[in-house]
Structure 1
C-alpha cells in the first residue's frame, strides 16, 4: 500500500521570510520528500518575485480555502495569527517559524525548520492545544473571522472621549468600565496586548480569561480573571456612537447599541512544538522575565 503524501499549506510574511536561506531549504526538503505544497497566494507572488522564476508548488489558495495535514507560518506572531484565523475549525496543526522578533506563537527558529520537518515525517512531535474565543455582534455582521486566539479588544474608534462598557458574566452584572477600551484575553494572549495594558501573565492551559481595561478613568478598577466557560456580554456607549472591535488585531467597526457576546469557541488551535520547549523558559528568554536589570 502506497504511503500517504503529506499536504502542507504555507502562509508567510514576504518582507521577512525571504531573508532566510533556511526557507528555501525548507521548500527543497518538502519537494524531495514528495510532499504536496500549497502556498497562500499573496505570499507565493512575493516568493516568485524574489526568485525571478516560478516556484514549484502544487497549488495556491486564498483565506481558508485549502485542505492540508499541516500549516506552516513563516513570519512573526502576526503571521501566525493570520494563519490561525484561516485554520479556524479545520483543527490542522500549525508550525510557527519565527522570522520576527519575540515569537511566542511562532516558536520555531529558522535553523530548526528541517529538524521539525524530520520529526513530522517520523511522527514524533508535540502538539499543544490553545483556547479560542469568539465574538457575536448580534444582527450586525462581521467582515472577518469572529474568532481570536489572543484577544478581543473593544476600543474607542477615534480621539473622542472614553467609552462606557457595561459588562456582565453569565447574566450577572460585573462592572461598568469607563476607559479607552477593554481587552478580553485568552491565556495565549496574556503576553500580548493584555500584558502591555497591565494584564496578568497566564499559563497556556489555565482554563481562564482575563478582562483588562485600557486607560481606565478610575484607579480602583483592576484586571480580573474569570473562568473560560462563561458568557461575557458587553453593552457599549460612546459619544461618537461608534466603537472598534479588534479581533486578534483585525479591526471591525461596531455600531453603538449592539450587545456584544464573547465566549469560548467550540474548537481549539493546535500548535506544534519542538521537544523540550517550556512556557516558563520562554518567558525568561523572550521577555527577560524575572531578570535583574540593576547594574552594580
Structure 2
C-alpha cells in the first residue's frame, strides 16, 4: 500500500508526534511512504537523517498510484493536501494535530489504530462537494481554482464598503452593499460563513450558502441555494482593487475581472476509520452547539 503524507511546521510537541508517525509508517513492511515537498523542507531542518530516507512529491502527477493521503495538522493542512490531490480524488486521512478539527477529525492518540484500519480495509469514505471558480484570469490562485470550504470577495485598500452584484444562473439575485460576500459549501459552513452569521449546513446537503460580510442592509440575510447553481458576480467600489480568496489562498484583483462559482466536477474524499469525531459531535463539543446545563443535569 502506497501512502502520501503532508504536514507543515508544527509546535514542538506536535512535531514530535509527526516524526513518530512517520517512523511508524516506514517501519511497517506493507507500506510505502512519500512526503510532500513542503513537509520535506521542514523535515530537512528538524530531522535530517529521517528526511534522507524518504521520497518526495511536488506535483499531482507524482501521486498517481497512491492509495491514501495522510494529512497531519489542522483543517488548513488538509486543505493544502487537497491542492496536491486535485482531480485524482485520493482518499485523505485527516489526523488532527491542530485545534478545532472539523475536517481533520482523527485524534492523535488513535494514529496507530488508524494505520491498522487502512491496512485491513476497516474504513469508510465520505465524499464532500467542492466549488470551483470560473474566471477570465487563467493564473488566478495559481491555476488551482477549486476549494472545499469557501470562495470570498472582500474590500481592499479602503474602509468603504463595496457592492457585489450577484446573479444566479444568469438571473439577477441581489446587489450586496457590504464588506464582502462569501459563497460556502456545506463543509465550509462551520468556518468563515458561520462567523458572519451563516447557517450550519450538514455535509452532503448539496447546497451552497451565500453570506454577506457586514452588510449595510438590515434585511439582507444568508441564502441557501442548490449546488447545481452557477453564481456570478460584478464588483464595484470607490477603488478598483479587491481581494478574492479560495479556502486559505487569496489574491488581489481589479473590477474588470470576470468571476463565477459553480460545483467542482470532482470531490474531496475523507476517510473515516472510527477513530475520529463525527460532525455533530464536533459541533457540540468544540462549538458548544446547543449547550444547555439542563442537558447535563443529574436526574
**TM-score normalized by the length of structure 2:** 0.91
Q: Look up the match of 1:38.
A: 34
Supply the distance in 1 between the matched residues of 2:188 and 2:157 (Cα, whole angstroms): 24
Moved more, 221-230 or 245-254: 245-254
User: What does residue 288 of structure 1 align with?
Assistant: 288
Any residues of structure 2 matched to 1:15-164 within 5 Å, and which? 15-16=10-11, 19=14, 21-34=16-29, 35-55=31-51, 57-67=53-63, 68-139=66-137, 141-144=139-142, 145-164=144-163
Question: How does 1:264-275 map onto structure 2 within 5 Å?
Answer: 264-275=263-274
Inter-partner Cα distance in structure 1 for 2:138 and 2:162: 20
After TM superposition, give the deviation of residue 178 of structure 1 in Å. 0.7
Distance 1:208 1:17, change over 3 A: farther
Distance 1:63 1:254, change over 3 A: farther
1:182-261 paired onto structure 2 within 5 Å:
182-261=181-260
Q: For 1:266, what is the secondary structure of its paired residue?
A: coil
Q: Any stretches of 5+ residues in structure 1 without a counterpart?
A: 1-5
Summarize deviations over 1:31-62 as a string: whole Å, max 9, x none: 23232211112312322322252435441122
Q: Does 1:8 pair with 2:7?
A: no
* d(CA) in 2 for partners of 1:181, 1:42: 31
| DSSP 3-state at the match of 2:173 | strand
Distance 1:33 1:54 in 2: 15
Q: Point out where structure 2 has 5 or more consecutive residues left out of the alignment.
A: 295-299
Larger deviation: 179-188 or 141-150? 141-150
- CA-CA distance at 1:266 after TM superposition: 0.5
Q: Closer, same or farther in 2 for the Cα pair 1:104/1:238, shift >3 Å?
A: same
1:54, 1:20 → 2: CA distance? 13
Q: 1:108 and 1:56 mapped to 2: Cα distance?
A: 28
Asked if the contact 1:178/1:216 (under 8 Å) is kept, the reply is yes
Say how many residue pairs are matched: 290
Shift in Å at residue 18 of structure 1?
6.1
Structure-2 residue corresponding to 1:3: none
1:254 deviation in Å? 1.8
Closer, same or farther in 2 for the Cα pair 1:143/1:190, shift >3 Å? closer
SS in 2 for 1:66: helix
- Structure 1 pair 100–188 and aligned structure 2 pair: CA distance change class (3 A): same
